[in-house]
Chains A and B, each alone.
Chain A
Amino acid sequence: MKPSPVIELNGVGVSFGGKAVHHDLSLRVEEGQIVGLLGGSGSGKTTLLREILGLLQPDAGTVRLFGIDLNEPDVDRQRNLRRRLGMLFQQGALFSALSVFDNIAFPLRELRCLDADWIRRLVHLKLAMVGLEPAHGKLMPAELSGGMVKRVALARALALEPELLLLDEPTAGLDPDRSQNFVELVGSLQRELGLTVVMVTHDLNTLAGLATHVAVLADQRIIAFGPKAEVMTVDHPFVTGFFGADRRKLL
């Protein structure tokens, strides 16, 4: 039996105040792919991620994750579905009332199956993964620098080691060294766990280092989707403009 695609969007349409953001948009992401989602600013990249997460219900079309429709009425199936994905929000979106440790421990505690020692080890493991010290666990989100917020948010998104990881501008605001570390980290996790990753990014280095596939969002739909090398050759004003002279760097 062929496994169902991790993400399947079919004819999705959404509009804000009469202005169409997506129209008849379709996308199919298979297991193990790392998809870089590109598009000009205001082209609806974050909106697309919100649709995949089920935070925004499209006006038309269907969104299926792991073969399950997001409109599935069964609450238990919905919750189990949500546990299979992790999201890194653009601004981090850490719970400001909880410490770093509690932020990362939160999804683990919500399972109500793990004991305190297990959770503590896992949290410290995640902290080490994203390059933070155990002592950082005591800090509150307000005391963190921008780059640290991002790393803690990534650690939280990885807490359950989800099968699908959605990243909104993961390396924006990180210094080049850190973003290289980040690329290596996500790459190694992907190999170990067979993660599927969808990331919105403007950073060509991240895209070159990580993505296996590229999806280009323009004119309210996905105009190109495929392996990196293939998409580079697409003749569309956005694609040629975006990659420009750097086209070769990605290959």
Chain B
Amino acid sequence: MSTSPRLLVEPGRVVLSGCWTLAEMLPQLPALEAELVACAGHNEWDLSAISRLDSAAAVLLWRTWGARWPVGLVADDLHRQVLERVADLPLEIAEQARPRRRFPEMVGALLLKAVGNLRGMIALFGQLLLDVAYLVRHPQDVPWKEFTANVYKAGAQALAVTALVGFLIGVTISYLSALQLKSFGADLFIVNILGISIIRELGPVLVAVLVAGRSGSAMTAQIGVMRVTEEIDVLSTMGISRTIRVVLPKIFGLTVAMPLLVLWTSAVALFGGMLAALLQLDLSFAYFVDNLPRAVPVANLVIGLSKGVVFGFVIAIVACHFGLHVKPNTESLSASTTSAVVTAITTVILFDAIFAVFTRNIGVP
């Protein structure tokens, strides 16, 4: 007995034999379909020689017959059952309607989403204030363990990567500026350029971008997965506030860790700059360190560190907001993590610009 599906046209009737299953039909599907189409006019069909008939083949036959029973059909009860199941399907199965959106609708939806996110973040901020007020009255509920764990994860474990990036940026800026300054004979201004740019601007922004990618995404993913696996709901059923136990330690942990990271990265970046200046301009470490306080008023350090505090807070609140709004599917998790990092970095740059405008008269000698 052959297993491949066969079709034989005898005078007045069509005889099918073999194994009419999807797996067996696949290799010769186009040929079979063409043969069936050619037989579509026949009214006598003999299916009794078929050894197997699966629903894919049944659908194929049913379509060939133009969705009605042929006048003369010979088939086993078993195969007839399969065909009946296909026949019982509604004639016209509506296509899955895909809503088409026009351009203004898309812009509007995007705008509404942005407003919704802003609202969510403000609500989270408000919840945070309420939680702080609660914790002031109930100091024994302060989640110290989670807080320190977050400082360690977001701060201590980021020391190596921020140092490496800071050092390389310091070397690069120092090297490029040295080339320019040399041609003007203004070698000594390298201290001013490096000091102001790194301490006031580059250090905080650099760390913020790194931390947003490193800790911000981790926070969103962690809270998101906790939502997908219903761990967040477990906390609620145990009467433990999810904002106090999960969100608050993350936000305050990063707010504390960020200025420390900024200080550390700026220091390493300055060291890189000093090293490049020594090699390129023969400027000794001692001269550099002696002149740094004169060239860079201490206000710049204060601005840099306050930027660190604000950026850390912004990154954490954005990350937590997106994490709490993950829907329980993989697509939403990846979309939320992406949005969290992009939004965090954009917001950080926005706040940096605001800082620049409001501190334009401070700390410039």
Contacts and interface: CB of A to CB of B under 8 A. Distances in A.
A6 B62 CA distance: 31
A128 B60 CA distance: 18
B42 interface: no
Contact of A124 (B26, B81, B89, B332): B89
Contacts of A97: 329-332
A160 B82 CA distance: 15
Contact of A193 (B29, B54, B93, B329): B54
A138 interface: yes
Given A113-B29, A161-B56, A84 B95 contact: no
A162 B151 CA distance: 53
Interface string B322-358: 0000011111100000000000000000000000000
Interface string B24-37: 00100100000000
A194 B52 contact: yes
Contact of B93 (A83, A120, A163): A120
A121 interface: yes
A16 interface: no
A72 interface: no
A122 interface: yes
B23 interface: yes
Interface residues of A, number: 34
Nearest to B53: A192
Contacts of B56: 114, 118, 122, 161
Contact of A192 (B60, B63, B82, B330): B82
A129 B29 CA distance: 25
Contacts of A134: 90, 93-94
A125 B54 contact: no
A140 B329 contact: yes
Contacts of A122: 55-56, 59
A95 B328 CA distance: 11
Given A125-B85, A134-B90, A161-B54, A141 B329 contact: yes
Nearest to A105: B96
Contact of B63 (A113, A118, A126, A141): A118
Contacts of B81: 188, 192
A99 B78 CA distance: 32
A137 B96 contact: yes
A191 interface: yes
Contacts of A120: 93, 95
B31 to A, nearest CB: 12
A125 B89 contact: yes
Say whether chain B's binding surface is mostly helix, strand, loop, or mixed: helix
A25 B327 CA distance: 43
A182 interface: no
A169 to B, nearest CB: 19
A111 interface: yes
B22 interface: yes
A102 B112 CA distance: 28
Interface string A71-88: 000000000000110000
A113 B60 CA distance: 13
A96 B331 contact: yes
A122 B23 CA distance: 15
Contacts of B55: 122, 125-126, 161
A113 B31 CA distance: 12
A118 B26 contact: no
B262 interface: no
A122 B21 CA distance: 13
A83 B23 contact: yes
Considering the complex of A and B, which 8 residue pairs feature the smallest CB-CB distances, nearest first? A96-B329, A97-B331, A161-B54, A142-B328, A121-B59, A96-B330, A125-B55, A97-B330
Given A113-B29, A118-B60, A193-B54, 14 more contacts: A83-B23, A101-B96, A120-B93, A121-B86, A122-B59, A125-B55, A134-B90, A134-B93, A134-B94, A140-B329, A142-B327, A160-B23, A161-B54, A161-B55
Interface of A: 83-84, 95-97, 99, 101, 111, 113-114, 117-118, 120-122, 124-126, 128-129, 134, 137-138, 140-142, 160-161, 163, 188, 191-194
21 contacts: A84-B23, A96-B328, A96-B330, A96-B331, A97-B332, A111-B26, A113-B29, A117-B63, A120-B95, A121-B63, A121-B89, A121-B93, A122-B59, A124-B90, A125-B59, A134-B93, A161-B56, A163-B23, A191-B78, A192-B78, A193-B52
